[in-house]
Amino acid sequence: MVQPLKSLTPENEATYESLISLIENNQERLALILVACDDLRLRQRVIDRYELEARQAKIRPFRVVLGTEPSLRSGLARLELREGYAAVVTVTGAEWLLRVTTREGEEQSDLDKFFGYLQWTREGLREFRYPIVLWVTHRILREMSKRAPDFWSWRKAVLRFASQEEESIALRQEEPRSRSLESQPNAEFLPPLEELLSEIQQLEAASPESANLATLYDQLGQVYAERIAKGAAANLEQERQQAIAAFETSIDRHQKLNNQSELVGVLRRFGDFLDDQSQYDAAISAYQQSLEIAREIGDRSGEAASLNNLGITHNSLGQYQRAINCHQQSLEIANFTDDRGGEAASFNNLGNAYSSLGQYQRAINFQQQSLEIQREIGNRSGEANSLNSLGNHYCALGQYQRAIDFYQQSLEIQREVGNRSGEAYSLNNLGIVYHALRQYQRAIGFHQQSLEIQREIGNRSGEAASLNSLGSAYYSLGQYQRALSFYQQSLEIEREIGNRSGEAASLGGLGIVYHALRQYQRAIDCHQQSLEIQREIGNRSGEAYSLNSLGNAYHALGQYQRALSFYQQSLEIEREVGSRSGEAASLGGLGSAYGSLGQYQRAIDFYQQSLEIQREIGNRSGEANSLGHLGKAYHALGQYQRAIDFHQQSLEIQRELGNRRGEADSLFNKALALAKLRTSSL
């Protein structure tokens, strides 16, 4: 049995089991299943769930949305159903008939027409040999028995779902390449673009003030967003503008209809799209509007969801304290409303924010709380996400075996629940941790599996992430031309889907490979382009990373003063955003540059500061590297015994972490210092 994305109440779970049983046991016969539900979000979750189970049982799901002419019979007649296979037909749209009152000059409302058609549907569907799941509101269900008695008597079953006071809060982590699961937009069940455009055109002509148009434009925005994400846009910039126009039209229509509750969701989805396009300031504006309306109408779950997404965008911008504040508020609301799923989501995102700050132990504590709740409520998908995030944090700490254990558990659950996208990200993350262990062939094997799945499911963003990871692995193997090829493919996809943040990351990867090829000017060009994008989208953390990379390139060119300038700029930003791990990296860069200038005492000062931070945040791998740098600096000063002591400490940590290459480097550097010590004592 596939687990729901979020827990149903026991009552609704029992209703769901009855529904799936009716679908499976009424193949090759007509079975009219009436389902009443007033909660549209809950309805969508239930439909998504049973259609997934139907596919796994070789039952083909079809959908019919009642339009301007609300005839069930004509809607079903448009389906291309053939005999010889199992199917289930889901019918929605009846809820909109309640929202359109009879206009002046009209003899019948759409609801009147709907009941009129129902009364004459029976004979026309006598040969229809599939179960039909007709979703209505409780009010329509009550009216149906009175106003369409013949149709009512023909029902196979009547099921009722009770509304649940909850909001599905998306866990949209930063990016796959940052080793976090990216929740994919679930647009599988949206109408095809051409069909949606045709329906909008017809409704605009027949009833330009129809309330249904607000929802259709919202769906249109989502369809364009999905096409862009999958790289299926015929013209990227044109469809990006069409998506924005569709969302804005939906928002405008909902505002005119005073549909405040609907505006909360549409504005949030608009924010999600803008965030995906790296238009972070615009995304924040949309989320803020959603948040204000949710607070105004007392929609606590909507308030929590908007705060959650706002926090994720602040995290993308390197505004980590703001992100934490948003997630903390979201957590408080979840606690107040007893929304266990919302609590888990907030703990997860707090963990990711503290991880961005390099506070990995705090991140782990939050993630553990998220994991416990996900297991408690039986949310297997959420459990996999939390396990994946724990793997990220332990990987950042250099505790690679623990990271592997968590990634493996996440992978097993993703396969169990049939989440191909999650499976791909878990595989990619396993590749990253084996890369960190310098087991590059194993890493490549995992990245290749991830890439194949991402291409199979059409996830262009995930495909770019896997290609990027393959580029990193081949770079570490010294196969620079292959690395360039993978980074270039990743870059092309990021540009194709309009992911500016991903574009900057791919340019950074290309810059590192050109650096290794000693093509320093080309490396600088790539890092400069990456820097410009990071500044354009307002990503301060990414800006610091690009500045640090430019420092490395100028260092390699022997332009140490320019290198120092870039390292210093990077350090200032890392301190500004509160990233302790980034601060440690920039301090290490400054130490390296001063070492190259022969200013070894200044180098030692910076390496010592870097070491203290690595120990403070619990980054054992970074601690080992800082100790190694200190050993080399003392070696250069002729203080060989101190150099030996630092290399010994580094060696012990590398062995503890199972890093064989790091262990070999420490042994070699220690041996050099020992040899010098013996020579100097003769």
Token pair 């503890």 in the structure block, residue: 656
**DSSP 8-state assignment for residue 191:** P
Under 8 Å between Cβ of 216 and 202? no
Cα–Cα distance between 306 and 292 in angstroms, integer?
A: 9
Last residue of a domain, one of 471, 492, 513: 492
Q: pLDDT higher for 66 or 237?
A: 237
> In terms of domains, do 366 and 277 share one?
yes
CA gap 310, 332 in Å, rounded: 15
Tell me whether residue 599 is in a domain: no
Place of tokens 């249904």: 212
Distance (Å, whole) CA 259 – CA 268: 14
- In this structure, the number of other CB atoms found within 10 A of the CB of residue 675 comes to 11
Specify whether 219 is located in the same domain as 368.
yes
199-217 pLDDT, tens digit each:
999 999 999 999 999 999 9
Which residues are within 8 A (CB) of 262 and not within 5 positions of it... i.e. 6 or more apart? 214, 215, 254
Report how far Cα 319 is from the mean position of its chain's Cα atoms.
Answer: 18
For range 295-323, the mean pLDDT: 91
276 or 489, greater pLDDT: 489
- Strand (E) or helix (H) holding 59: strand 59-65
Q: Is the pLDDT of residue 80 over 80?
A: no
At 138-178, the pLDDT tens digits run 778 877 777 777 667 778 889 988 765 332 222 222 333 22
Query: 99 φ, ψ to 5°?
Result: -90, -10
Residue 298: count other Cβ atoms within 10 Å of its Cβ: 8
CA distance 501 to 483: 20
Answer yes or no: are the C-beta atoms of 607 and 584 closer than 8 Å: no
Domain closes at, from 160, 186, 219 = 160
Distances (CA, A) of 141 to 88, 116, 158: 21, 14, 9
Same domain, 109 and 215: no
Q: How confident is the model at residue 40 (pLDDT cuts 50, 70, 90)?
A: low
Average pLDDT over residues 348-356: 90
651: its two tokens: 């060696």
558 lies in some domain: no
| Domain-embedded: residue 433 | yes
pLDDT above 90 (res 218):
yes
CB atoms within 10 A of CB 532: 14
pLDDT of residue 31: 86
- The residue among 492, 511, 532 that closes a domain is 492
242 and 131 both lie in a single domain: no
Helix (H) or strand (E) holding 120, with range, is none
pLDDT tens profile 383-434: 999 999 999 999 888 888 999 999 999 999 999 998 888 999 999 999 999 9
Cα–Cα distance measured from residue 50 to residue 63, given in angstroms and rounded to the nearest whole number: 13
Give the model confidence (pLDDT) of 593-634 as tens digits.
999 999 999 999 999 999 999 998 888 889 999 999 999 999
The tokens for 404 are 């592997």
Region 551-558: what's the mean pLDDT?
A: 92
Provide the 10 A C-beta neighbour count for residue 316. 24
Evaluate if residue 95 carries a pLDDT over 60. Answer: no
| Residue (of 169, 186, 137) closest to 419 by Cα position | 186
Tell whether 379 is covered by a domain. Answer: yes
User: What 3-state DSSP class applies to 479?
Assistant: coil
Q: Grade residue 77 by pLDDT with cuts at 50, 70 and 90.
A: low
> Could you tell me if residue 311 is inside a domain?
yes
**In 425-536, beta strands by DSSP E:** none
Measured CA angle at 126 (ends 121, 127), to 5 deg: 130
Give me the phi and psi of 63, to 5 degrees please: -130, 145
Tell me: pLDDT of 49 over 50.
Answer: yes
The CATH number covering residue 133 comes to 3.40.50
The torsion of the CA quartet 169, 173, 176, 181, rounded to 10 degrees, works out to: -50
538 lies in a domain? Answer: no
Q: Same domain, yes or no, for 341 and 436?
A: no
Residues 383 and 446 in one domain: no
Per-residue model confidence (pLDDT) at position 2: 36
Taking CA atoms, 338 is separated from 46, 270, 292, 378, 631, in Å, by: 22, 28, 22, 16, 54
Q: For residue 643, what are the domain limits? A: 619-682
**pLDDT score recorded for residue 20:** 92
Is 513 domain-assigned? no
Could you tell me the two tokens for 538? 């307002």
Which residues, in sequence order, are bridge partners of residue 158? 34
The pLDDT of residue 463 is above 60? yes
585 versus 358: the higher-pLDDT residue is 585
* 255 and 386 co-located in one domain: yes
Average pLDDT of the residues of the chain: 84
SS3 assignment, position 130: coil
Q: Are residues 70 and 112 in the same domain?
A: yes
pLDDT for the residue 227 = 87
- pLDDT band at residue 99 using 50, 70 and 90 as cut-offs: very low
Q: For residue 675, what is the domain's CATH number?
A: 1.25.40.10
Task: Clarify whether residues 311 and 253 are in a common domain.
Answer: yes
Q: Is 456 found in the same domain as 334?
A: no
Distance CA(603)–CA(589), nearest Å, equals 9
Answer yes or no: do 125 and 189 share one domain: no
Asked if pLDDT for residue 116 goes beyond 70, the answer is no
Number of domains making up the chain: 4
Looking at residue 177, its pLDDT comes to 28
Give one DSSP letter per residue of 660-676, joined into a string. Answer: HHHHHHHHHHHHHHHHH
Contacts of 668 (CB under 8 A, 6+ apart): none
CB 214 within 8 A of CB 100: no
pTM of the shown model: 0.64
481 shares a domain with 399: no
Instruction: Give pLDDT, residue 96.
Output: 46
Is the residue at 578 inside a domain? Answer: no
